[in-house]
Structure formats: C-alpha cells, structure tokens
Amino acid sequence: MTEHLREWVTVAGSGGHIRATRNTLTVLKGAGEERYDIGRVGHLIIVGGHTIHTSAVVALVRAGATISFFDADGFPAGQINPPHPQDAETIRAAQQKVSGHSVALIFAQAGIDARILAIERYGNAHGWDLLYEGELELLHRSREELPFLIRMEEVRRLHKLVSDMYYEIMARTIPAELGFRRRGRRPHIDPVNAMLSFGYAVLYGSADVALSAAGLDPDSGTLHEGAGGLIYDIIDGFKPSMIDQTVFSLARGGISACDYDTGDRRCYLSENLIQNLLGGIRRTLDDGPINTVVRDYACALLSGTEFSPVY
C-alpha cells in the first residue's frame, strides 16, 4: 500500500475493544494494545465480533474518518461515512441515466483481463502445468466474445464463467491439504477462502470510502446488482493483484494447522495468520488506482464523456 497522510486501521477476529479520546484511537485485543493518532486515521475497518465505544465513533467522525463494519465472513454489514460532497445529488442523478450495459461491459472486461493476466504471469514464472488443454484458449475466446454480448445476463454469465475458471485454475497451485478447490459460499470451511473474504472486505472498504468521497451511490452497480453493487464493480479488476496474489502466496508458502480451525462448520483464522495476511495486503493494496477509477467514473458521469478506467 502506498504511503498516504491518512491510514487505514483494521481490527479483525474477535474480542477487540475499541475506544478513543479526542486525539487517540486505542485498540485493545488480548494482552496487546495499539494506539493511533486520530488525525491520521482515514478508515477504521472492523471485521468480526468486537466492541466499540461511542467515544471512538464520535472522535473518528469529527476527524472525517470512515468506519466500516463486516461480519466474521467478510460480508459488509454497514458503514459510517463523512458528509457527502455538495455535488453528490447531481452525480447520483447521472448514475441513474447511464447505460448500465455499456458500463457493465467495461467492468467485466477489467475483471476478466486481470484474471487472465494473473494466470499468465504464474504460468510464465512457474510453468504451465496448472492448465488443462484448451483452458487458456477458452479464456481468451471468452474475452474476445465479451464486446458482442447484448443482454446483461449474458455479460454476467460470461464474467462468472471466467471467474470460476480462474479460481479453479489457481487452486491447482495451492497445497491440496488446505482444501481450496474453488471460490465457495459463506461460511467458508477452508483457510484460503476465508483469507480471500477477509482481503476482499478490506478492499471493499477502501473502494467504499472512495465512492463516498466522490458522492457516488455505492448500491447503483451495473455488473453487480444489489447492496454495494458499484463497489463490487469497482474492485473486481483489482482483486487478483491487490488481494489474491497475497493470499495465494501465503497458501503456497505453507500454512500451519495451528493457524486456522475448521470447527463448527466454519474456518477461523488465527491472530498470527490474520496479521501476516494484513502485512501482505498493506504491501499490495494501493488506494491510488482505486481512487483514480472512482474519480474517472464520476467525471465521466458529470461530463457525459467515455469512461475508460485504467486498472
């Protein structure tokens, strides 16, 4: 993650106790204590079961910070944002008028390109044994087919096909004993899926902050529908480089059985594994490109010009 004046702070797992004075945010967890200058905290990300004092909420909001809440599986539960910019109403009105199909094609292309690139980078670096005959050709044909799809359900179907293939292909590079075969549904029963969801929660929170600052409606997605649809649209093309490479690298390096617990039909990550994962994500998650894509989308909406994001 690039250095910015304001940082993001993540509290994950369970049992954390978050409080604040006017100038200092304090996170107590187990025997550990972390303190942060309120003025330097731009985003507090809370994943799992913790307690937070109203003093911390008030101090962070006064300082213009965002607070994001996620459940133990990394699913968004809510967010507290600073006030929207003055032109938010105009931007959101423009969102309702944009061609959802054309924008969905752009986001789908970004996500498909990023996944194909990740596969090819791994193949070039480590060999092509991860692929079955014809798989890479199928991925490229799917990418070439995308611009000619007319119906939205066709765009979403093709995007899902490539995404599913990507996870299944990358799963072949990960030790079989970790139990990762593909991207699964929550609750996750293997540590790789659990780590992916944790990383995607952090990425989701970063994009949500950028959308709020731009005045965009996070629920007005095109490729993805429902709550947070636009956030999922934005982050899809960033997942392979900003999250997946860190998670897959940790998994390939070997995860000890003591670093996760699969009891109660759910995989729980140890504090040690969470901290290692966060350390990797801090090196790969860069707010700059996310902010640029969001800014370009807002500018395209207001000016009526073509949206051409760079991922």
From the annotation, which residues make up the binding site for Mn(2+)?
224, 236
Short-list 89, 285, 297, 108, CA closest to 205: 285
Phi, psi at 72, each rounded to 5°: -65, -20
Rounded CA separation 283/270 (Å):
20
Rounded CA-CA distance 2/311 in Å is 16
Task: Give the single-character DSSP code of 80.
Answer: E
Query: Which secondary structure element, helix H or strand E, spans residue 119, and what is its range?
Result: helix 100-126
- Nearest CA to 219 out of 78, 68, 112, 63 is that of 78
Q: Where are the beta strands (DSSP E) in the chain?
A: 7-11, 14-20, 24-29, 32-37, 41-47, 49-52, 66-70, 76-80, 260-261, 268-269
Report DSSP letters for 128-166, one per residue. STTPPTTHHHHHHHHHHHGGG--SHHHHHHHHHHHHHHH
Give dist(CA 199, CA 205) in Å, integer.
10
Could you tell me which residues are annotated as the binding site? Answer: 224, 236
User: At which residue do the structure tokens 């940790």 appear?
Assistant: 250
The answer to whether the beta carbons of residues 309 and 297 sit under 8 Å apart is: yes
Largest CA distance in the chain: 61
